[in-house]
Structure 1
Amino acid sequence: MARNFMCTKTDPVVETKAGKLRGFQLDGTYVFHGVKYADAKRFHQPTPVEPWEGIKNALAYGYVCPMLQQDQPSNELMVPHRYWPLDENCQYLNIWTQHLDPNAKKPVLVWLHGGGFAAGSSIEHIAYEGENMSKYGDVVVISLNHRLNILGYLDLSPFGEEYKNSGNAGNADMVAALQWIHENIANFGGDPENVTLFGQSGGGMKVWTLMQTPAADGLFHKGVVQSGCIDHFVSGNSTEQNGKAIVTALLAELKLDDVKALETIPYAQLAAAYNKVAPEVAKTGAYVGGNPLANDWYLGDPLEVGFTEHAKTIPVMVGTVLGEFSFMPALSEEEKADAALIDSMIEKRYGAEGKKLKEMFAKVYPDKDVSDVLFMDSIFRAPSTDFILKKAQHPESGTYSYMMTYTFPYDGGHIAWHCSEIPFVFHNTSLVAAYNEPGVTDLLEKQMCDAWLNFARDGKPSSEDLPEWPACTADDEATMIFDKKCEVRHNYDHELVALHKKLAPSPWSHNDDEEEQQIQH
């Protein structure tokens, strides 16, 4: 059935601080793609875009940041991807809105994409499309690109004052985007005083690092951290917290004498040199970049340095999914029914205490197949609980916990994997084949999307289709379980997760390329 489309030379056109932008309208939703929110020279801080005359088109997604290595398509049923032209001039955002009335003052939700701080983009996943969420919730949805990897997170400060914050250039791009939103979003129907950041994996990390960034204070008002607390990305794990060693190694590999030359050398050549020298530098314990660098601009991981006074006032939702790393094929029905085989697999994976872990899992998740213990997660869940309980010590704002435990109708039953909550949150399950189960999907999608929308409206995720969802306290993690039956459970998995964390082999200790790539994205 044809949809209602409208795009003329003068409609829809919106005035921004720098000039006029033309988008299009589809079934009532106004869409603006590829809005330039800042410019920047390599390794330098972003600057506002130059004003222009006339009307600029916002009809195509902007460039996405180049990657350190080529993306490799894998299981698109689980995490469908899209690929787009790359260029380090990548400071673009996308807007979906129902109104162009400056007095509409609708909540604004800003999506920060995953991929750690090294990869990904605002359009990488099909489910990142904001049209359905905007229409369903009558909100403004924004996604954005920013500098990544060595372009966004390589510290050159030992080589000159002009590079003072190059180790946080990617996060500085996000602050510039938030500043653009603050100055312009009213004309797109949004409320600049009601902005919620939400992001998954690396995007969740971006949410809490921006909470710890004074330059972002007042530019957003709530945060949702989806699978964004992870042991592998703990900050401060280098013995030398500056870029002297890695940049010196880069210069030597490229046979350059002047650090200034790194600003203009072709990116592919720079990336190849970095990929070669970074592993050797990392072995010495020195900083190699790739994540925000704590300094007087970004104040550091709140689990290490505490929350800033402003961060204490920001309501947050924090959660994970049950099987974050469960990208491998699920067990067959025959395998699941073979108790001796399952016991053998559990013992092989977890050792002598595997039996205790299995028994504990069965008590915590009596509705799950006991074989799911082989695929459960603690790498995200444990630090997420730590974050929640530490944030909940500050009653200035609400802290809410969730866990998605839904078993998908894929491979005979597959527990929720990294990224699998995203289509539900965006009201986009219809776009992803493996997420559809008649009689289940529609309600769970409504419950989850409503929770995110309600939280964006007033800082409380409760809805008429969910049980009462209380905020956590310093000693009570009240966790909303998203599944076929949603319920709130209190401190329900702490002992299980602690034992799992003790017994589980590290996923970073092997070379499962598909799993590593999926977790990165």
Structure 2
Amino acid sequence: MRRFTNIILLITFLFGYTSCNPNSTKNQEPVVRTTSGDISGSYNDSVFAFKGIPYAKAERFMPPQDPDAWEGVLECNDFGPVARQVVPWYPDSVQNEKELFSVNVWTQGISDGKKRPVMLWLHGGGFHVGASNDPMTYGEALAKKGDVVFVSVNHRLNILGFMDLSACGEKYAQSANVGMLDIVKSLEWIQKNIENFGGNPSDVTIVGESGGGGKVGTLMCMPIAKGLFHKAIIQSGTLINTMNKEKSQLLGLAVLENLGLTPNDVEKLDTIAYLDLVKAGNDAITKMSGPREPGSQTMFGFVPSADGDVLLQQPFSPGFADISDEIPLMIGSTLNEMMPTFYGEKDLTLDQAKERLAKEYGKNTDKYIELFAKAYPDYTPQDLLSVDKVFRPYTIRTANARALESSAPLYAYFLAWKSGVDDASKGSFHGLDIP
């Protein structure tokens, strides 16, 4: 519980530069004014940090609203609660459906007259897990090295963020995309407040890896988000296939049926335990779509719906540039991505690798290895088996689609460098390109 008191290529892509409205010095607990009230933070190694700042509030399945204002100074030294999860590694004690709506801000200056570039980091985990408090994505290092204002956000996930109940009445018209509307709300918060943190509201980059990259692409198709950001970076995250409205509505109705409810009973969902909702949702997905296959609309469970209102279309489909045609985009992936398993087999021989490849490529196995060797002369047998065959093709397809639709700057990267950690046993793994 918070206490109230009264008291780089990437960097080159982001860089831009003057006034803020501070209330602090480095030798004191820094205090900054937001539209909802004053907050205090901390200062360490030349970086100010403010964690768990409220940016919204919302009822279940409803669009986010402005947070309640407070009096005095709200201490923001700790990360706020995270969204409800469907994985066991977040204990119940850190999850809170009502209090998850928070942003974190790291900045080098709140009183020096600069207008720094702003980054909004969108965490990975598909659209169903994850949080802004992942140690891999603390903003202190990037704020220090790049002199940017780094912001991260918690938002609703899985069934609470993306269940379409629009067939149950106008009240639920936007329910299929409230998780994305949360992110839009955080962008609105940035526009209203970030100057007080030394940031430039006219130079905001949205960036995400994996599922976070999918969120970036989704935002680029949302009219309500237009003008709230100015650049975009997608890292290993183009594997997104939104539902269409017809299918998402059917899925929502199937969840109701699994819970013994009808559209007339929809408001009873407000009192149903979260885990019961999750079970009903998983059962509905399995019944409608079968096993979750890579690239399928239900690979990550509940996802945004192209409802023609909040989300106009499938990201990077024809006409995509009509929504964000002036947004520069950087997009890329890593060599090994989601397949690090074979890197544990340090003694794997070329013959053993060939034997396994033959099951997939048959008589074309030698040709595959020949072409692979041309692309990656220093390859290992592990590389042959673990090279990414999912994210890279989607990245290329997305980049090509973007190039056809927009004349805005487009940058593509491919990270094949292997970290030396653990004797380079993980290759160029999924997430290695996180800044």
- Equivalent residue pairs, number: 402
**Conserved 8 A contact 2:255-2:284:** yes
Q: Which amino acid aligns with 1:322?
A: L
The more displaced of 89-98 and 346-355 is 346-355
Q: Which amino acid aligns with 1:298?
A: L
Matched, 1:419 2:428: no
**Conserved 8 A contact 2:36-2:68:** yes
Q: In the TM superposition, what is the alpha-carbon distance from 1:284 to its structure 2 partner? A: 11
Distance 2:93 2:228 in 1: 29
Runs of 5+ consecutive residues of structure 1 not aligned to the other structure: 1-5, 73-81, 426-521
- Which residue does the alignment assign to 2:40? 22
Residue deviations 1:78-130 (CA, integer Å, cap 9, x gap): xxxx9970112211110000111383110001100000011111123x21111
Matched, 1:212 2:224: no
Q: Which amino acid aligns with 1:363?
A: K
Mark the CA change 1:331 to 1:34 in structure 2 (over 3 Å): closer, same or farther: closer
Q: Which amino acid aligns with 1:65?
A: A
2:286 to 279, 290, 311: 279
Matched, 1:357 2:368: yes
Distance 2:368 2:379 in 1: 14
Q: Which amino acid aligns with 2:408?
A: S
Q: In the TM superposition, what is the alpha-carbon distance from 1:306 to its structure 2 partner? A: 2.8
1:366 to 377, 384, 399: 377
Secondary structure of 2:368's match?
helix
Matched, 1:405 2:416: yes
1:113 to 108, 117, 123: 123
Distance 1:367 1:16 in 2: 53
Q: In the TM superposition, what is the alpha-carbon distance from 1:282 to its structure 2 partner? A: 2.4
- Which residue does the alignment assign to 1:519? none
The more displaced of 92-101 and 362-371 is 362-371
Task: State the TM-score, normalizing by the size of structure 1.
Answer: 0.72
Matched, 1:168 2:177: yes
Distance 1:234 1:120 in 2: 19
Q: In the TM superposition, what is the alpha-carbon distance from 1:378 to its structure 2 partner? A: 2.2
**Conserved 8 A contact 2:41-2:75:** yes
1:151 to 155, 160, 184: 160
The more displaced of 22-31 and 192-201 is 22-31
Distance 2:372 2:254 in 1: 47
Matched, 1:37 2:55: yes
- Which residue does the alignment assign to 1:380? 391
State how 1:98-137 maps to structure 2 within 5 Å: 98-101=108-111, 103-124=113-134, 126-137=135-146
Runs of 5+ consecutive residues of structure 2 not aligned to the other structure: 1-23
Distance 2:70 2:155 in 1: 22
State how 1:255-404 maps to structure 2 within 5 Å: 255-257=260-262, 258-283=265-290, 290-295=302-307, 296-330=309-343, 332-336=345-349, 339-394=350-405, 396-404=407-415
Mark the CA change 1:280 to 1:9 in structure 2 (over 3 Å): closer, same or farther: farther
1:240 to 235, 246, 251: 246
Secondary structure of 1:303's match?
coil
**Conserved 8 A contact 1:240-1:287:** no
Q: In the TM superposition, what is the alpha-carbon distance from 1:71 to its structure 2 partner? A: 3.5
Distance 2:260 2:431 in 1: 41
Task: State the TM-score, normalizing by the size of structure 2.
Answer: 0.86
Secondary structure of 2:322's match?
coil
Q: In the TM superposition, what is the alpha-carbon distance from 1:28 to its structure 2 partner? A: 2.2
**Conserved 8 A contact 1:185-1:191:** yes
Distance 1:200 1:96 in 2: 19
Identical-pair percentage: 36
**Conserved 8 A contact 1:101-1:186:** no
Secondary structure of 1:249's match?
helix
The more displaced of 56-65 and 34-43 is 56-65
Distance 1:39 1:325 in 2: 35
The more displaced of 38-47 and 94-103 is 94-103
**Conserved 8 A contact 2:233-2:330:** yes
Distance 2:127 2:87 in 1: 14
Q: In the TM superposition, what is the alpha-carbon distance from 1:270 to its structure 2 partner? A: 1.5
Distance 1:25 1:239 in 2: 47
Q: In the TM superposition, what is the alpha-carbon distance from 1:411 to its structure 2 partner? A: 4.9
Mark the CA change 1:346 to 1:46 in structure 2 (over 3 Å): closer, same or farther: same
Q: In the TM superposition, what is the alpha-carbon distance from 1:213 to its structure 2 partner? A: 0.7
**Conserved 8 A contact 2:87-2:129:** no
Distance 1:316 1:8 in 2: 36
- Which residue does the alignment assign to 1:515? none
